[in-house]
Structure 1
């Protein structure tokens, strides 16, 4: 931008930069904060284009209901921790 010219849309630019930063943080959290099972649960449950019920996910992963919910709880907590939410 030329000197003396003020960006007429600073909030829009800042919002886009903020969104890209949040996406990058989430990608890093998924890659580094979760183990393979936790990542697979989050991807199937929340990042899939289709709504999938928990009851359809845990047998596919070879987990029982209690194991599934423990992995899911830990995955959500790990993501929140990696994103400095908790």
Structure 2
């Protein structure tokens, strides 16, 4: 409910966290968190089940020239919250 309130939407909606910007907004992360230690007391990554990781070119960065096609987008295969389904 806290994440949904931060995004001003229903918690059950798929669009709540289906993209990096939306995820950061829902988690309350902003520019002040840039470079934060992800192994700290306040902000950390907890271990969990590993899904099947896929990779693809990033989305909507045609302006990046030859870098636009680099497979620098990582996602969990089969996860319904992935914003744009890559062609696997």
Q: Same fold (TM over 0.5)?
A: no
TM-score by length of 1: 0.21
More strand by share: 2
Which of the pair has the greater relative contact order for Cα pairs under 8 Å at 6+ separation? Answer: 1
TM-score by length of 2: 0.21
Greater Rg, structure 1 or structure 2?
1
More helix by share: 1
